[in-house]
Chain A
Amino acid sequence: MSKSNRQNTSYKISFLDRFKMAISLHKKNAANTLLDVLRHPTNSLLTILVLAIALALPTAFYVFSSNAKAISSNWSGGVQMALFLKENVSQEQRAEFIQELSFRPEFKEVVLIPKEQAIEDFKQQSGFGDALDYLDENPLPDSIILTPYENHSGAAMLEKLAQELEQNPVVDLAQLDMAWIQRYQAILEISQKVGTFVSILLAFGVLLIVGNTIRLAILNRRDEIQVIKLVGATDAFIRRPFLYTGFWYGLIAALLAALMVNIVLLLLQQPSSTLAELYNSGFSLMGLAPSQTLTLLAIGASLGLFGAWFSVSKHLKDIQPT
């Protein structure tokens, strides 16, 4: 290049200026795309609503299943084991066995219910009071009620314990009334797996919806993208506003989803506490904790961002200036 040309070479830009401009570009992109989304609500509202529903469903399911889990954890804390003793067991054998049980580390509480007390209780509670007086002898055995510590109240553990105790010569039968808890937990587990699967599908759906929305936005601005490429825009420069758009879609949809779930929870609060009262339970419906709401927002925003990213990296290459 000749000397006369020197004055004409491109402006030099310092690194600091570049950095400052990059920051200010990001701010502008973020603000402009947000305004764009908000300013054209008819364009974006439908998409955002669909996204919000897709995010609200797994969220509601999550809240539902953590409530269900909370209920069942209360129950398993109350699991008890009943040992019915053989009829010919002497007082000494019985006392010895009780002592042995109370030394074991698994049990919080060991309570003997002698057969005399058992029949009294039964008389009072069953309403057969007078009828029972006609029996010649007490048909009920002595029993011991065991309350395990929480860390020993797992279903499998208790099952093993019951089998072991049944081997003891003084024990006739060890009864563990937890089949229904197991069933409940099994159903819960299945529904959790289904829920996880459906959530993954819905997350995938969110990616596709955002991806498709961004694809349309890219095609709409095809000419503009060609022009900007011609005047030297890098892919990153062109990509950025689309990524921000995806991000806003995801974030706003997540906010809306949180709102939807909270409204549903609010509507359920009254009936659920009535139900809990009927069951004499102190259970109260758990809502979305602030940290869970934040997680939802983060998931929504990143799904939006990634959906946009996939779309942009796929479609931007196809647009070249001609």
Chain B
Amino acid sequence: MIEFHQVFKRYEGGHEALKGVSFELPAGEMAFLTGHSGAGKSTLLKLIALMERPTRGQVILDGQNISKVKDRHIPYHRRKIGMIFQDHRLLFDRTVFDNVALPLIIAGVSDREIPKRVRAALDKVGLLSKEKQLPIQLSGGEQQRVGIARAVVNKPPLLLADEPTGNLDPELSADIMNLFAEFNQVGVSVLIASHDLALIARMRHPVITLKEGRTIRNELAEAAFDE
């Protein structure tokens, strides 16, 4: 699903966020990306979503070298990816329903279809009863689940999450992670950046560890090697 080949990212100003990262996430796999803050986790995810472009190296998504995606095709590229953020990035002047419907409206799904799909997504994250509420009326965990519903409503083959449990207490965090695992079980590839090591350890999925922009441990490669 995702391949990184010797990827470097140097920001303007000289900061080198990634210094030759390589890994491969097979389709249908779920993996964690960990490391201290500043290790390059967020940069790595941004490269996949084309929020940044690599300075050097190749990023391949679903068999396609994404450095070849032109700027005006970036929106279509992003529709293949469901993204979840630590700060949820919801629209606070719109209802839960409207927030989740957003990717469908953007993709041009018909008015008849939208309510069905939005409710299906909200049902999966357990928020069907709150569709008419505004995000501000929800708890942090609920807001994050709205973010997840929005990310999955278009049924993208890949989910990327950047510290999705960063602001949540341990119990809610585990719920959120289990939700990701459920999506993974129906075939969605999932890559989650998190520094919640205890929680990651309990999830029993491969972990990629970054330190100062380099891969210092890649359980995905070890798993492949074991086979």
Indicate whether A and B interact: yes
Please state if B106 and A322 are interface contacts (CB–CB under 8 Å).
Answer: no
Please state if B110 and A8 are interface contacts (CB–CB under 8 Å).
Answer: no
The proximity string for A residues 226-240 relative to B, scoring 1 for CB distances below 8 Å and 0 otherwise, is 111111111101000
Asked if B157 lies at the interface with its beta carbon under 8 angstroms from chain A, I say yes
The proximity string for A residues 155-175 relative to B, scoring 1 for CB distances below 8 Å and 0 otherwise, is 000000000000000000000
Asked if A320 lies at the interface with its beta carbon under 8 angstroms from chain B, I say yes
Please state if B75 and A232 are interface contacts (CB–CB under 8 Å).
Answer: yes
Please state if B89 and A230 are interface contacts (CB–CB under 8 Å).
Answer: yes
Please state if B157 and A228 are interface contacts (CB–CB under 8 Å).
Answer: no
Please state if B187 and A7 are interface contacts (CB–CB under 8 Å).
Answer: yes
Please state if A234 and B111 are interface contacts (CB–CB under 8 Å).
Answer: no
Selected contact of B89 from candidates A18, A227, A234, CB within 8 Å? A227
Please state if A229 and B110 are interface contacts (CB–CB under 8 Å).
Answer: no
Please state if B89 and A5 are interface contacts (CB–CB under 8 Å).
Answer: no
Please state if B108 and A17 are interface contacts (CB–CB under 8 Å).
Answer: yes
Asked if B217 lies at the interface with its beta carbon under 8 angstroms from chain A, I say no
Known pairs A24-B111, A232-B106, A233-B106; A4 contacts B80 (CB<8 A) = no
Known pairs A7-B187, A10-B154; A1 contacts B103 (CB<8 A) = no
Please state if A9 and B155 are interface contacts (CB–CB under 8 Å).
Answer: yes
Closest CB-CB distance, B152 to chain A, in whole Å?
10
Size category of the A interface is 20 to 34
Asked if B121 lies at the interface with its beta carbon under 8 angstroms from chain A, I say no
CA distance A228 to B99 in the complex (A): 10
The B interface, classified by DSSP as helix, strand, loop or mixed, is: loop
Asked if B72 lies at the interface with its beta carbon under 8 angstroms from chain A, I say yes
Please state if A231 and B102 are interface contacts (CB–CB under 8 Å).
Answer: yes
Asked if A134 lies at the interface with its beta carbon under 8 angstroms from chain B, I say no
Known pairs A228-B102, A230-B78, A231-B103; A8 contacts B109 (CB<8 A) = no
The proximity string for B residues 91-102 relative to A, scoring 1 for CB distances below 8 Å and 0 otherwise, is 100000000001
The proximity string for B residues 114-140 relative to A, scoring 1 for CB distances below 8 Å and 0 otherwise, is 000100000000000000000000000
How many contacts between A and B, using CB within 8 angstroms?
A: 99
Please state if B72 and A235 are interface contacts (CB–CB under 8 Å).
Answer: yes
Please state if A1 and B110 are interface contacts (CB–CB under 8 Å).
Answer: no
Q: Which residue of A lies closest to B111 (CB)?
A: A24
In residues 284-308 of chain A, which contact B (Cβ within 8 Å)? none
CA distance A24 to B80 in the complex (A): 24
Please state if A18 and B106 are interface contacts (CB–CB under 8 Å).
Answer: no
Closest CB-CB distance, A181 to chain B, in whole Å?
61
Q: Which residue of B lies closest to A16 (CB)?
A: B110
CA distance A71 to B111 in the complex (A): 59
Residues of the B chain whose Cβ atoms lie less than 8 Å from the Cβ of A314: none
Residues of the A chain whose Cβ atoms lie less than 8 Å from the Cβ of B75: 229, 232-235, 237
Residues of the A chain whose Cβ atoms lie less than 8 Å from the Cβ of B216: none
Q: Which positions in B face A, CB cutoff 8 Å? A: 1, 27-28, 49, 51, 62, 72, 75-80, 83, 89-91, 102-103, 105-111, 113, 117, 150, 154-157, 186-189
Q: Which positions in A face B, CB cutoff 8 Å? A: 1-2, 4-5, 7-11, 13, 17-18, 20-22, 24-25, 224, 226-235, 237, 320-322
